Amino acid sequence: MLTDARRAALFACWFSAVTSAVFFVTGVVALPVPLYVPLVHRWVMSASAAEQLGPLGSLTMDYFGRSLLAVGCGAVTTLLGMICLRLRHRTSSLVDGKSSPGTSLKPSPIQLQLALAYAVTAFLLCAALFAYKLYGREPSSPVLPDPSPTSADRLP
């Protein structure tokens, strides 16, 4: 866990900004992501499963794959950033001959302002994109057999 609030703020903004940016890209470009096909209980790595699985493959769920990709990219880049900062701090400590942890390599106010601005902008842009895409979207599910119970089903 980070002990300095400034570094924590920088990495929190970085995680949010990268996740929102990657999620935005998955909403614009049909990337090959893990698709779940609920009617055949299968995972497919593709942008579309219809051509691989026939009619049942037209009912797919890309939400899991897109979410995993976005959150995974955000988490991995944040962890890499933390490791790089730690290594850089150790290197500079060795060069300077100082061993006081947490006294150097803290983000400046300008860096924090920029990080916060990027995170907020990416979040708002991504939320606006999905609001725009989903507002008035036409139904896309394949026609399945009528599930309404018949009068015989209602009888005890």
Partner 1 sequence: MRRPFGRYSEQVPPVFLQSWGPLLVVIHALSAVVLCGASVHQAVLATLLLLRRAVRGRLLRVYSVTTLLSYLATVTGGALLYPRYRVVIRALFLDQNAPWAANLFDFKENLATLGLPLAVGALLLAMPLSQRCARISPTPGDVVTDADPAADSDAAADSQRLASLTFLVMALGTALVAVTNLIAGLVCTAVRGA
127 lines the binding site for partner 1 (CB under 8 A):
yes
70 lines the binding site for partner 1 (CB under 8 A):
yes
Q: Which is nearer to partner 1, 72 or 94 (CB)?
A: 72
28 lines the binding site for partner 1 (CB under 8 A):
no
Closest CA to 9 of 126, 124, 120, 88: 120
Contact between 7 and 106 under an 8 Å Cβ cutoff? The reply is yes
Query: HSE on the CB side for 35, CA within 13 Å?
Result: 23
Contact between 31 and 47 under an 8 Å Cβ cutoff? The reply is yes
126 lines the binding site for partner 1 (CB under 8 A):
yes
Contact between 125 and 27 under an 8 Å Cβ cutoff? The reply is no
Residues that bind partner 1 (CB under 8 A): 1-6, 8-9, 11-13, 15-16, 19-20, 23, 27, 36, 38-41, 56, 59, 61, 63-64, 66-67, 70-71, 74, 106-109, 112-113, 115-116, 119-120, 123, 126-127, 130-131, 134-142, 144-147, 149, 152-153
